[in-house]
Amino acid sequence: MHLWHLDVAKEILQVFRETSQFFELRILVPDNLDNQVSNQLQEHLKKYYTFNSICTLAVPAYGRDVGGFITSLIHSIKFSEYKIRPHLFLHTKNTPGLHPALVKRWRNSLVYDIAFNFNFSLSLFLFKFLKACIVYSRSNDCVEDGDDDVKERNASYELAKKMEHELFKKNNDKVHFCLGTMMWVLPARIEKVWSIEKLQAVLSKLEPSQTMQEPSHAHAFERAFPDMTRSLGLRVFTI
């Protein structure tokens, strides 16, 4: 879980009140965030949950949740015991500039869609039997670049298309556009993503934390990541 907002973290974690014993929790703390926030969350977790283990990893504060997503995956790939386990990446989404009720409804739909009941079991089935490398919710999926009410999406969409062309020489008119990083990932199966020629040059362009209204290479990478994975012939599912 990428920790930006303590109150939101406590809200999201309620989904795991009955299943926390099946998870190891990694708290991704932006390197510009006060350690006191992380300590408060750890105290809350010890009081109400039974996670197998809890650890903290400092991550770059670029692209809001994207820095945590990339750092966590690369970290897991380095350790054989972690890279063969499905990872559920969540972040404390609280987008500035949008109505809080709208953000909460969107956040809850993403978390419950991907982490709760049937879809939780379905995700694990896809990893075990259908060789999935990424599973994410349909509510996080967008193949069109409309959505004129959120200008950032159109701008980031163009950056995402340019990024994919640089990496894969793709000239498609459309990118299969993912709206966020709340998803299941199996690190061992996407290891080859990090060996893509020129990828490090792309990652070096990721800027410090941006607001929703400021399109960035970090947002573009987030939106294009599943499509990049598909381009390598790997299996990506939406549920």
DSSP string, 126-139: HHHHS-EEEEE-GG
151: in domain? yes
Q: What is the pTM of this model?
A: 0.83
Domain assignment of residue 189, yes or no? yes
**63 — alpha (psi -120 to 50), left (phi > 0) or beta?**
left
3-state DSSP assignment of residue 57: strand
Q: How many domains does the chain fold into?
A: 1
User: What's the pLDDT at 147?
Assistant: 46
Look at residue 178 and tell me if it is in a domain: yes
Cβ atoms of residues 54 and 29 within 8 Å? no
Weakest-pLDDT range from 16-20, 96-100, 111-115, 125-129: 96-100
In a domain, 129, yes or no: yes
Cβ pair 6, 37 in contact under 8 A? yes
Taking the C-alpha atoms of residue 52 and residue 13, their distance in angstroms, rounded to an integer, is: 14
Q: pLDDT grade, residue 146 (50/70/90)?
A: very low
Query: What digits encode the pLDDT tens for the residues 82-115?
Result: 889 999 988 886 766 667 777 777 777 777 777 7
Within a domain: residue 167?
A: yes
| Average pLDDT across the chain, whole number | 79
Residue type for position 132: A
Assigned domain for 1 exists: no
Give the residue among 132, 134, 219 at the shortest CA–CA distance from 179: 219
Residue 36 lies in a domain: yes
Which residues span the domain enclosing 224? 6-238
Mean pLDDT of 141-156: 55
H or E segment at 27? strand 24-30
Give the other-Cβ count within 10 Å of 41's Cβ: 22
Tokens 């419950």 map to which residue?
112
SS3 102: helix
Residue 173 domain flag: yes
